[in-house]
Each structure stands twice: as C-alpha cells, then as structure tokens.
Amino acid sequence: MPALLSKTLRDYRRTLIGWAVGIGAFFALYLSIYPNISRNKDIYGPAALAKYPDVLRDLLGGLQDFTSGVGYLHSVVYQMFGPMLFVGCAAVLGNRAIARPEESGTLELTVTLPIDRRRLVAERFAAMALGLLAVAAVTFLLAWGAAVAADMDVPAGRILAAHTGVLLLGLFFGTLALAVGAAAGRRGPATAVVGALAVGGYIVETMGRNVDALSWLRWISPFHYYLEGRPLYEGFPVGDYLVLAGATVVLLIAAILLFDRRDVGV
C-alpha cells in the first residue's frame, strides 16, 4: 500500500471508528423497536399513517407499509436518516483530504515532498473510499443482524443493495467535498455546497414525486439515483448506481485538475 494512502488511513482511524459506532448505534436503536411497531397496526398501520400530512409522508418515503419489515427499514433507516449520516461522514472525510490540511498549514509541507499533486489527490480519495467502505461493511453487518434479530424477514441481498446505494451516495458527496476543497482550499465552501446539495437534493426527490414544479429537477438530484430504484423492494438498480459512480469519477477528475493548477502557497 502506498505510504501516503496508509498514513491517511491511520489519520482517519478515530474518525472512522466514531462514525461506525454512531451509525451502528442508530441502526441498532431504531431497529430494536420494530417488534413493538409491528404489533400495533392500529397505531402504525396504513389507515393510521394516512392521517399524517402528505408532506411528512413524502419526506419519509410514503409511510405506506410501516408495519412490515421492509417498509420500516425503508422509511426509518434507508430513506433519509441512514443516507444523511453517511453523507455527513463522507463530507468530513472529504474535507480532511485537502481543505483541512491547507487551512492548518500542513498541506504546504506535503506538496513539497516528491509526490505528484495528482497522485496526492488520488490517494486521498482512495483513503476516503476505503474508509467509507469500512464503515459501510461494519454497519451493514449490524443492520442485517438487527433485522434478523427483530424478525423483519428482509433478505440479506436486499439490505446489501440498499447499503451499497448509501455507500455510493456518501462517496459522491465526499468526492464533492474533496473537489470543492481542492478548488477553494477551505472547509467552509465545501461544507456549504455539500449541505445545500444534500438537503436540496433530498427535498427535490421526495417532494418532486407529487409537485409538478419540482419534478423536472429530480433528474439532477443525486438522491434520485439512490431512492428511485427502491433497492429494498427490487434489489440492485444497476443503472442508477452506475450513474452515481460515474458522477463520482467526474468529480474526482475535476478535483485532480483543479488542485493540480492551483497555487497552494509553495
């Protein structure tokens, strides 16, 4: 393993452990209450949920079959909260790739080493991707184990399909943070861009299904290519996931070119 990549992973280890524990705890907590939900269909069944405001149901994935295992997983874990947690983790890692070291003054020392700038960005991206993969692997096992313990009757392959989408979505936003950080050299703009696109993209995708004025924007929302395929219900949406992966590659190339041409003070 290249020295820069291995050092970056060592630097990330506490952050990765913290996010893995935090996301895993969230999954375990919310999945543990599913048996109580499933036993109270008069409170949480379709007839009761139909009384909720349409806006709230849209934001939470429709809330159509909340008392079924797959419906609960979709609405509570994989619709909004799980993806947003992964986006937050990825944004932190993306900011630590270029923007944070540049703000702290340590990046100037790094670029004086006999390491090509393009290689530096590529290896920092690789460290981010491997870190997110590790968090995804740990939390997938926790989600699958909790789903089995709660007798949710959801195949492991469907949970893996949804978890893969969450990973790809996080990787997209992490690479976006890296690219903006490579262009601006500061964490503030990167965090603002990621936050605006994540929140705006989610609202556009969920609300745009029933609001004509927003429907045309769904195609440019990253969340569209994760949520539209309904991986928990239908398995791997290969085409949509390839779009997310392709967009991530484009952002990585942009980050490499932007950083390679920018003056970082050396």
DSSP string for residues in 49-68? HTTS-HHHHHHTTT-SSTTS
Residue boundaries of the structural domains of the chain: 3-38+78-260
**Are 9 and 127 spatial neighbours (Cβ–Cβ below 8 Å)?**
yes
Note the pLDDT of residue 164: 97
227-233 contacts, C-beta under 8 A, 24 or more apart: 227/61, 227/79, 229/165, 230/74, 231/78, 231/158, 231/161, 231/162, 231/164, 231/165, 232/70, 232/73, 232/74, 232/78, 232/154, 232/158, 232/159, 232/161, 232/162, 233/70, 233/74, 233/158
Q: What is the mean pLDDT of residues 40-56?
A: 67
CA distances from 36 to 113, 126, 136, 242, 247 (A): 58, 42, 27, 38, 41
Beta-carbon-side half-sphere exposure of residue 262 (alpha carbons within 13 Å): 21
Burial of 203 from C-beta contacts in 10 A (0-12 / 13-18 / 19+): middle
* CB-CB neighbours of 35 under 10 Å: 13
Q: What is the pLDDT of residues 57-68, one digit of tens each?
A: 666 666 667 778
Pick 60 or 12 by higher pLDDT: 12
Pick 49 or 167 by higher pLDDT: 167
Q: pLDDT averaged over the chain?
A: 87
Note the pLDDT of residue 49: 65
Q: How many residues does the chain have?
A: 266
Note the pLDDT of residue 104: 78
**Are 138 and 22 spatial neighbours (Cβ–Cβ below 8 Å)?**
no
Note the pLDDT of residue 91: 95
